[in-house]
Amino acid sequence: MSAHLSLAPLLESFFRSRLTNQRNASPSTVASYRDALRMLVLFVAERTGRQPSALGVADFDRDLVLAFLDELEVKRKNSIQTRNARLTAIRSFFHHVAANDPASLGIAQRILGIPIKRAHIEITHHLSRNEVDALINAPDQQTPRGRRDRALLLFLARTGARVSEAIGVNAADLQLDRPRSQVLLRGKGRKERIVPIPSDLVKGLKSLLNERGVALHDMRPLFVGTHETRLTRFGATHIVRRAVATATANIPDLARNPISPHVFRHSLAMTLLQSGVDLLTIQAWLGHSQVATTHRYAAADVEMMRRGLEKAGVSGADAARFKPKDAVLRLLEGI
């Protein structure tokens, strides 16, 4: 049997050939897979006492990958969904290994046999309108950074964009003339969708672009960090954390649950649902591939269920027992 290939050429061909050329993966998918494999490589390097550049496929066995997944949950406090997303990236890579390194087929098959972990459906955490407004108004409007922060928070809250979609927007993706104010978002799997934007966000984005001297037809990023470079996911998360730290002084309840950029997406979905917008419209708005994903918002809203009981006239009083007239049915009912 031939020797195992080293790790580096397999990683390079995986990202350059399999993901980019063959599967036409979106930049966000490539970034997600890169992060997952980077963490795995660092974990294996630490466990084996070898430098990452010295690792080979033979250093990756099923038990070590399982230990890595356990660490994600136990030490990093990752959710089961995040754990499964990391495993999806690892599986994709080892599919590539199996196809390109026959000597490593056994290792790859054992790793590919690691099952996706079933997760309990959790109630979707969302913010009230007052809490959303408090976060939007938290940044200091007397500074350029504060005005940028407020515009980003307002964008997340009003569009329901994923953080990767928000930071990926260019000025040319905006249409700010009323009554058809809208933005083009590029979602998962390179899927594009257009969502409307309300007047307060239009005003905020116009001010942001004017302050930076950016025209609407420009391909420059809408949200930037230092040196006018595109804002990163980490930068966006830090902006949200900064707003939470400020707003918690007035609304202590904001500290009861972790707040990430994604919470704004959940919160908009619940607001739309409670306002009577149907699930199919919310599905299109959020860019969900399946309406079942959107349905969890309806399942999480106890108040809507309670109003449904009131509308239906359902009470706790004992209803009269149904008595079938037919003799055979009476016989069956009595058994």
Q: Tell me how far apart the terminal alpha carbons of the chain are, to the nearest angstrom.
A: 70
Residue 188 designated active-site: yes
Which residue do the tokens 């006239």 mark?
313
Q: Exactly one of 96, 148, 162, 288 is catalytic; which is it?
A: 162
Q: Exactly one of 34, 62, 220, 262 is catalytic; which is it?
A: 262
| Distance, CA of 245 to chain centre | 22
Q: Exactly one of 83, 265, 266, 288 is catalytic; which is it?
A: 265
C-alpha to C-alpha distance for 120 and 33, rounded to whole angstroms: 24
Residue 262 designated active-site: yes
List b or e across 32-64, with b for residues whose CB sees 16 or more CB atoms inside 10 angstroms. Answer: bbeebbebbbebbbeeeeeeeeebbbebbeeeb
Q: What are the tokens at 138?
A: 């938290």
Residue 162 designated active-site: yes
Dmax (CA) for the chain in angstroms is: 85
| Distance, CA of 65 to chain centre | 24
C-alpha to C-alpha distance for 314 and 191, rounded to whole angstroms: 43
Find out whether 303 and 270 touch, Cβ atoms under 8 Å. no
194 backbone φψ class: left, alpha, beta (φ>0; ψ -120 to 50): beta
Q: Exactly one of 95, 110, 147, 188 is catalytic; which is it?
A: 188
Provide Rg for the chain, Cα atoms. Answer: 25
DSSP of 171-235, one letter per residue? GGGEE-STTS-EEEEE-GGG-EEEEE--HHHHHHHHHHHHHHT--TT--SBSSB-GGGPBPPHHH
Query: Which residues carry out catalysis?
Result: 162, 188, 262, 265
